[in-house]
Structure 1
């Protein structure tokens, strides 16, 4: 299974939190990352998105169908994100558009099985894949990309 974590792009510093929109820079970040992702994404990928405006606007840059899931809203837990994705046994690859620190917590959990979080840049992705080797599940980090690098 493949799991891609995409942090929403730069958003306005306003409130209420759920309605914060992307800035002009954020729209450019989302478009740049979408341009990089689209030719690389599997055709059968499921796109799951936090209902927060900034996450929805980030996902819209892909120009693909997506589902909004309340369980991916700001403050979501690692278990909720992995359950929504169906990790590790899901039938389809999944792209999740969400928030820090949750996505950084998921990344650290996948990489090291630890609590805590790693920093994810705004608009950046972490692309994971799992595989079985010698009867054990392994997690492979396939890519880390930031819109500033593309």
Structure 2
């Protein structure tokens, strides 16, 4: 499985956390990263995104650039257990998948898959990493590339 994990673009602070919207900078950053992914060999077949507004907006931008369908998943919000996402990854038959979510989940999920622990690495807004996993599981992924806005 190839998995791209992306943090949503920059969002404003003028509303409740779940309703925060992307700023102009956030929209441009998401589009720039999507364009870079589109020029690479890491194009996803499907996107899973958090139901929070900023993640849905980021996923919509990426979807438009990459011509890729999006599914909202309730288990990839900021404070969700990365183990729930791991369980879903084990059950899916999608071989090239992208997740658009939030810190700290993107950091803890990435380190769980690469290093086998959940301490979490930092992600900038709109940053994406590509993980290659011959087998889905803790410590089974190799970090292949990263895309920055």
Deviation at 1:90, TM superposition (A): 3.9
User: What are the residue-to-residue correspondences of 1:8-87 with 2, within 5 Å?
Assistant: 8-40=8-40, 45-62=45-62, 63=64, 64-86=68-90
Question: Following the alignment from structure 1 to structure 2, what is the Cα–Cα distance between the partners of residues 98 and 123?
Answer: 10
Instruction: Give 1 or 2: higher helix fraction.
Output: 2
Match of 1:116 in 2: 119
In the alignment, is the contact (CA less than 8 A) between 1:3 and 1:85 conserved in 2? Answer: no
Q: Structure 1 CA distance, aligned partners of 2:47 and 2:140?
A: 23
Match of 2:103 among 97, 100, 103: 100
Q: Deviations over 1:54-73 (max 9, x none)?
A: 00111111213200111112
The 2-side partners of 1:126 and 1:69 are apart by 19
Distance in 2 (alpha carbons) for counterparts of 1:9 and 1:124: 8
Aligned residues: 142
Q: Which consecutive residues of structure 2, in runs of 5 or more, have no partner in the other structure? A: none
Q: Distance in 2 between matches of 1:77 and 1:41?
A: 30
Over aligned residues, Cα RMSD in angstroms? Answer: 2.0
Contact 1:4 1:127 in 2 (8 A): yes
> Residue deviations 1:90-109, cap 9 Å, x none?
44211000000111001111
What stretches of structure 1 of length at least 5 have no aligned partner?
A: none
Shift of 1:42: 5.6
Higher Cα radius of gyration = 1
Q: Report if the CA contact (8 A) 1:47-1:65 is conserved.
A: yes
